[in-house]
Amino acid sequence: MAILEEPIKEVVTIKNYVGGEWVESKSEKILDVVNPATQKVLAKVPVSTREEIDEAVKMAWEAFPRWRETPPLARARLLFRLKELLEENFEMLSRVQTMEHGKTIDESRGETRRGIENVEVATGIPSLMMGYMLEDIAVGMDEFAYKQPIGVFGIIGPFNFPFMVPLWFAPYAVATGNCIIIKPSSEDPISQMKIAELAEEAGFPPGVWNVVNGGRDVVAGMLEHPDINGICFVGSTPTGRDVIYKRCGETGKRVIAQCGAKNFLLVMPDAVLDRTIAACMTSFFGNTGQR
């Protein structure tokens, strides 16, 4: 790509990716995705309806029986292909993040690299998910441990790391035989749209990798849905404690969450000030103030 080339040249209409198809939402509630540096509208993103959430869950469950029976090595091969495609599109993916989030291009490149690293680690799942067998742990007794996929996971992405954070969860979930529904932040959903396009190109079967767009209403629909087995979330402590854990507890969902990161600083008397000041500035203002 040329030095100043922008990957988003016209207003994009964001579609949901459900059951291997790009589906335009029937919702009448549409939000703008705005480049915070220029205030230019980059995309229109829908707030998906409950019926559209239901359809995504249905498609994921239809894909699950065959996907869970797919050998781990075959699942890993698809992740290897996805990693290859992410690498090939590294610069485009980084520039999309800068345009929709506002972070500097170097920060976006760092986020892209860390996201891809998670896909790379997940390719090793055939060895990471191995169970075990112990003979004669007691008289006439052997012990076996098997690791089995759970079902359908919802992944709720934050706005500050729109590319990386969903990849903290998605590659591992699909590698272990689960199906996923990603709900990107409505402020910067284009990164996950691009990843879904590459997952489709990599050859993931329809229904394994799904994306449903929207805001809090969609999150609520996912939390309340009886056929979503688990939720992955990164965000604030109040939201995690009062919304995610509470709703998931009511519906028996498993939760993987990271809440309330804060870059607090304690400067000691013997600190090397030049390094300390640089570290403080990065902590305060990195990622456009959302580190």
Average pLDDT over residues 129-146: 87
Which of 1-10, 109-118, 198-207, 267-276 is predicted least confidently? 1-10
Annotation: CATH topology of 12-127+145-260: Aldehyde Dehydrogenase; Chain A, domain 1 (3.40.605)
Q: Are strands 41-46 and 12-13 parallel, antiparallel or unpaired?
A: parallel
Average pLDDT over residues 67-78: 96
Domain boundaries, the chain: 12-127+145-260, 263-291
Model confidence at 7, pLDDT cuts 50, 70, 90, reads confident
pLDDT of residue 246 exceeding 60, the answer is: yes
| CB contact burial 171-197 (16+ within 10 A = b; e otherwise) | bbbbbbbbbbbbbbbbbbbbbbbbbbe
Model confidence at 287, pLDDT cuts 50, 70, 90, reads confident
Q: Residue 60: which residues within 8 A CB-CB, separation 6 or more?
A: 152, 179, 180, 181, 207, 208, 210
pLDDT of residue 1 exceeding 70, the answer is: no
pLDDT at site 279 = 85
Q: Which tokens sit at 194?
A: 């691009």
pLDDT of residue 2 exceeding 70, the answer is: no
Model confidence at 8, pLDDT cuts 50, 70, 90, reads confident
How does pLDDT run across 105-136, given as a tens digit for each residue?
999 999 999 999 999 999 998 888 888 889 98
Q: Residue 108: which residues within 8 A CB-CB, separation 6 or more?
A: 94, 95, 97, 98, 101, 163
Model confidence at 233, pLDDT cuts 50, 70, 90, reads very high
pLDDT at site 182 = 99
pLDDT at site 216 = 92
Average pLDDT over residues 52-56: 98
How does pLDDT run across 248-264, given as a tens digit for each residue?
999 999 999 998 777 77
pLDDT at site 264 = 78
SS3 sequence of 19-63 = CCEEECCCCCCEEEEECCCCCCEEEEEECCCHHHHHHHHHHHHHH
pLDDT at site 51 = 97
Are 48 and 218 in contact by the 8 Å Cβ rule? The answer is yes
pLDDT at site 129 = 80
Average pLDDT over residues 266-272: 92
